[in-house]
Amino acid sequence: MNNLNHVAFIMDGNGRWGVKKKRSRNYGHVKGIDTVRKIVKNSIELKIPIITFYVFSSENWKRPKKEINFLFNLIKNYFLKEIENLIQQGIKINIIGEFNKLSRDIKSTLKKTMFLTKKNKKILVNLAINYGSHNEIINAVKKTKKLNLKNFEKNLYTKSLPNPDILIRTGGHQRLSNFMLWQLAYSELYFLKKLWPDFNSGDFKKIISKYKRSKRNFGSI
Protein backbone atom coordinates (compact mmCIF):
# COMPACT_ATOMS: atom_id res chain seq x y z
CA MET A 1 0.00 0.00 0.00
CA ASN A 2 1.41 3.39 -1.03
CA ASN A 3 2.20 6.04 1.56
CA LEU A 4 0.47 9.37 1.08
CA ASN A 5 2.38 12.49 2.11
CA HIS A 6 1.28 15.24 -0.26
CA VAL A 7 -1.83 15.89 -2.37
CA ALA A 8 -2.05 18.80 -4.84
CA PHE A 9 -5.25 20.28 -6.26
CA ILE A 10 -6.07 22.32 -9.36
CA MET A 11 -9.42 23.77 -8.29
CA ASP A 12 -10.95 24.32 -11.71
CA GLY A 13 -14.55 25.24 -12.41
CA ASN A 14 -15.60 27.77 -9.75
CA GLY A 15 -16.64 30.45 -12.23
CA ARG A 16 -18.43 28.00 -14.52
CA TRP A 17 -20.24 26.54 -11.50
CA GLY A 18 -21.54 30.00 -10.56
CA VAL A 19 -22.81 30.64 -14.10
CA LYS A 20 -24.35 27.16 -14.25
CA LYS A 21 -26.31 28.00 -11.10
CA LYS A 22 -27.54 31.19 -12.83
CA ARG A 23 -25.45 33.28 -10.45
CA SER A 24 -22.16 35.12 -10.95
CA ARG A 25 -18.67 33.69 -11.45
CA ASN A 26 -17.78 35.32 -8.12
CA TYR A 27 -20.52 33.32 -6.39
CA GLY A 28 -18.75 30.21 -7.65
CA HIS A 29 -15.47 31.38 -6.09
CA VAL A 30 -17.22 31.87 -2.73
CA LYS A 31 -18.66 28.35 -2.85
CA GLY A 32 -15.24 27.03 -3.85
CA ILE A 33 -13.88 28.11 -0.47
CA ASP A 34 -16.45 25.84 1.20
CA THR A 35 -14.96 22.92 -0.72
CA VAL A 36 -11.45 23.92 0.38
CA ARG A 37 -12.61 23.85 4.02
CA LYS A 38 -14.06 20.35 3.58
CA ILE A 39 -10.93 19.01 1.89
CA VAL A 40 -8.64 20.44 4.58
CA LYS A 41 -10.87 18.83 7.24
CA ASN A 42 -10.84 15.48 5.37
CA SER A 43 -7.06 15.65 4.98
CA ILE A 44 -6.60 16.16 8.72
CA GLU A 45 -8.90 13.21 9.43
CA LEU A 46 -6.98 11.05 6.93
CA LYS A 47 -3.65 12.19 8.42
CA ILE A 48 -2.34 13.60 5.14
CA PRO A 49 0.50 15.91 6.25
CA ILE A 50 0.68 18.25 3.22
CA ILE A 51 -1.82 19.58 0.70
CA THR A 52 -1.33 22.23 -1.98
CA PHE A 53 -4.04 24.30 -3.67
CA TYR A 54 -3.49 26.12 -6.98
CA VAL A 55 -5.23 29.36 -5.99
CA PHE A 56 -4.09 31.94 -8.55
CA SER A 57 -1.72 31.40 -11.46
CA SER A 58 0.66 33.92 -12.99
CA GLU A 59 -1.56 33.68 -16.10
CA ASN A 60 -4.75 34.53 -14.16
CA TRP A 61 -3.84 38.24 -14.33
CA LYS A 62 -5.41 38.12 -17.82
CA ARG A 63 -8.86 37.80 -16.22
CA PRO A 64 -11.18 40.82 -15.81
CA LYS A 65 -9.88 43.23 -13.17
CA LYS A 66 -13.15 43.09 -11.18
CA GLU A 67 -12.88 39.32 -10.85
CA ILE A 68 -9.21 39.54 -9.81
CA ASN A 69 -10.01 42.15 -7.15
CA PHE A 70 -12.88 40.02 -5.87
CA LEU A 71 -10.65 36.94 -5.62
CA PHE A 72 -7.93 38.70 -3.64
CA ASN A 73 -10.45 40.36 -1.33
CA LEU A 74 -12.00 36.93 -0.78
CA ILE A 75 -8.60 35.50 0.16
CA LYS A 76 -7.77 38.43 2.45
CA ASN A 77 -11.13 38.43 4.22
CA TYR A 78 -11.06 34.66 4.67
CA PHE A 79 -7.77 34.80 6.57
CA LEU A 80 -8.78 37.83 8.62
CA LYS A 81 -11.92 36.00 9.68
CA GLU A 82 -10.56 32.45 10.06
CA ILE A 83 -7.12 32.94 11.63
CA GLU A 84 -8.21 31.79 15.11
CA ASN A 85 -9.83 28.66 13.66
CA LEU A 86 -6.67 27.87 11.70
CA ILE A 87 -4.59 28.11 14.88
CA GLN A 88 -7.03 25.98 16.89
CA GLN A 89 -7.14 23.28 14.21
CA GLY A 90 -3.35 23.12 13.93
CA ILE A 91 -3.26 24.25 10.29
CA LYS A 92 0.00 25.77 9.06
CA ILE A 93 -0.31 28.07 6.04
CA ASN A 94 2.48 28.51 3.51
CA ILE A 95 2.50 30.55 0.29
CA ILE A 96 4.35 29.51 -2.86
CA GLY A 97 4.65 31.80 -5.88
CA GLU A 98 5.91 35.28 -6.72
CA PHE A 99 4.78 36.69 -3.40
CA ASN A 100 6.45 40.10 -3.67
CA LYS A 101 4.39 41.08 -6.72
CA LEU A 102 1.15 41.02 -4.73
CA SER A 103 -0.46 44.20 -3.35
CA ARG A 104 0.68 45.51 0.02
CA ASP A 105 -2.53 44.64 1.91
CA ILE A 106 -2.61 41.07 0.54
CA LYS A 107 1.06 40.53 1.38
CA SER A 108 0.51 41.89 4.88
CA THR A 109 -2.44 39.54 5.53
CA LEU A 110 -0.62 36.51 4.14
CA LYS A 111 2.60 37.25 6.06
CA LYS A 112 0.62 37.62 9.28
CA THR A 113 -1.21 34.34 8.63
CA MET A 114 2.04 32.46 7.95
CA PHE A 115 3.63 33.92 11.09
CA LEU A 116 0.69 33.10 13.37
CA THR A 117 0.36 29.52 12.06
CA LYS A 118 4.06 28.65 11.67
CA LYS A 119 4.16 26.41 14.79
CA ASN A 120 1.07 24.41 13.82
CA LYS A 121 1.74 20.72 13.25
CA LYS A 122 -1.44 18.90 12.13
CA ILE A 123 -1.27 19.79 8.45
CA LEU A 124 0.65 22.08 6.10
CA VAL A 125 -1.57 23.85 3.58
CA ASN A 126 0.36 25.37 0.67
CA LEU A 127 -1.39 28.04 -1.36
CA ALA A 128 0.05 28.63 -4.81
CA ILE A 129 -0.65 32.33 -5.42
CA ASN A 130 0.75 34.22 -8.41
CA TYR A 131 2.42 30.91 -9.19
CA GLY A 132 3.80 29.75 -12.53
CA SER A 133 6.01 26.70 -12.85
CA HIS A 134 7.94 28.03 -15.87
CA ASN A 135 9.09 31.07 -13.89
CA GLU A 136 9.79 28.92 -10.83
CA ILE A 137 12.13 26.70 -12.86
CA ILE A 138 13.87 29.60 -14.60
CA ASN A 139 14.42 31.43 -11.31
CA ALA A 140 15.71 28.25 -9.64
CA VAL A 141 18.24 27.75 -12.44
CA LYS A 142 19.42 31.37 -12.12
CA LYS A 143 19.88 30.99 -8.36
CA THR A 144 21.78 27.70 -8.61
CA LYS A 145 25.52 28.34 -8.74
CA LYS A 146 26.65 24.75 -9.26
CA LEU A 147 23.87 23.18 -11.31
CA ASN A 148 22.93 19.67 -10.29
CA LEU A 149 19.67 18.05 -9.24
CA LYS A 150 20.11 18.51 -5.50
CA ASN A 151 21.23 22.16 -5.71
CA PHE A 152 18.52 23.01 -8.24
CA GLU A 153 15.69 21.59 -6.09
CA LYS A 154 16.90 23.65 -3.12
CA ASN A 155 15.89 26.76 -5.08
CA LEU A 156 12.34 25.69 -5.92
CA TYR A 157 9.44 27.11 -3.91
CA THR A 158 8.87 23.58 -2.60
CA LYS A 159 12.51 23.06 -1.58
CA SER A 160 11.83 21.47 1.82
CA LEU A 161 8.74 19.45 0.81
CA PRO A 162 8.16 16.01 -0.68
CA ASN A 163 6.77 16.07 -4.20
CA PRO A 164 3.01 15.45 -4.52
CA ASP A 165 1.97 11.81 -4.59
CA ILE A 166 -1.35 12.76 -6.16
CA LEU A 167 -2.61 15.61 -8.32
CA ILE A 168 -6.39 16.07 -8.49
CA ARG A 169 -7.85 18.41 -11.10
CA THR A 170 -11.57 19.14 -11.28
CA GLY A 171 -13.43 20.90 -14.10
CA GLY A 172 -13.01 18.49 -17.01
CA HIS A 173 -9.69 19.70 -18.46
CA GLN A 174 -6.80 17.24 -18.61
CA ARG A 175 -3.77 19.49 -18.40
CA LEU A 176 -1.38 20.86 -15.76
CA SER A 177 -1.77 24.57 -16.61
CA ASN A 178 1.81 25.50 -15.63
CA PHE A 179 1.42 24.00 -12.15
CA MET A 180 4.29 22.19 -10.40
CA LEU A 181 5.67 20.83 -13.68
CA TRP A 182 8.92 19.69 -12.06
CA GLN A 183 7.36 18.34 -8.86
CA LEU A 184 4.61 16.31 -10.60
CA ALA A 185 7.00 14.18 -12.69
CA TYR A 186 6.03 10.94 -10.89
CA SER A 187 2.71 11.95 -9.34
CA GLU A 188 -0.48 10.01 -9.97
CA LEU A 189 -2.83 12.29 -11.94
CA TYR A 190 -6.60 12.24 -11.47
CA PHE A 191 -8.88 14.34 -13.68
CA LEU A 192 -12.56 14.79 -12.83
CA LYS A 193 -15.39 16.31 -14.87
CA LYS A 194 -16.96 17.66 -11.69
CA LEU A 195 -16.54 21.39 -11.08
CA TRP A 196 -14.62 22.29 -7.91
CA PRO A 197 -17.63 23.35 -5.75
CA ASP A 198 -19.20 19.93 -6.43
CA PHE A 199 -16.07 17.97 -5.45
CA ASN A 200 -16.80 16.20 -2.17
CA SER A 201 -15.37 13.95 0.53
CA GLY A 202 -16.57 10.81 -1.24
CA ASP A 203 -14.73 11.78 -4.43
CA PHE A 204 -11.58 12.50 -2.44
CA LYS A 205 -11.67 9.21 -0.53
CA LYS A 206 -12.27 7.19 -3.73
CA ILE A 207 -9.17 8.72 -5.32
CA ILE A 208 -7.07 8.03 -2.24
CA SER A 209 -8.29 4.43 -2.11
CA LYS A 210 -7.42 3.96 -5.80
CA TYR A 211 -3.99 5.55 -5.27
CA LYS A 212 -3.16 3.28 -2.33
CA ARG A 213 -3.90 0.21 -4.48
CA SER A 214 -1.90 1.44 -7.50
CA LYS A 215 1.55 0.15 -8.43
CA ARG A 216 4.17 2.92 -8.59
CA ASN A 217 7.32 1.86 -10.44
CA PHE A 218 9.28 5.14 -10.68
CA GLY A 219 10.96 3.87 -13.83
CA SER A 220 11.59 0.30 -12.64
CA ILE A 221 9.71 -2.86 -13.58
Q: What is the DSSP letter of 55?
A: E
Flag whether 131 is in a domain. Answer: yes
Flag whether 220 is in a domain. Answer: no
Query: Quick check: is 203 catalytic?
Result: no
Short-list 202, 194, 200, 201, CA closest to 17? 194
Flag whether 218 is in a domain. Answer: no
Confirm if 58 and 178 have CB atoms less than 8 A apart. Answer: yes
What angle, 0 to 180 degrees and rounded to 10, lies between the N-to-C axes of helices 65-89 and 25-45?
Answer: 20
CATH number at residue 131: 3.40.1180.10
pLDDT at 43 (0 to 100): 98
Flag whether 221 is in a domain. Answer: no
Query: How many structural domains does the chain have?
Result: 1
Flag whether 89 is in a domain. Answer: yes
Q: 5, 26, 42, 60: which is the annotated catalytic residue?
A: 60
Tell me the three-class secondary structure of 14-47, residue by residue: HHHHHHHCCCCHHHHHHHHHHHHHHHHHHHHHCC
Range of the domain at 198: 6-170+178-213
Three-class SS state of 185? coil
- pLDDT, one tens digit per residue, over 138-166 is 999 999 999 999 999 999 999 989 999 99
Query: Quick check: is 12 catalytic?
Result: yes
Q: What is the reported pTM?
A: 0.95
Q: 12, 14, 126, 165: which is the annotated catalytic residue?
A: 12
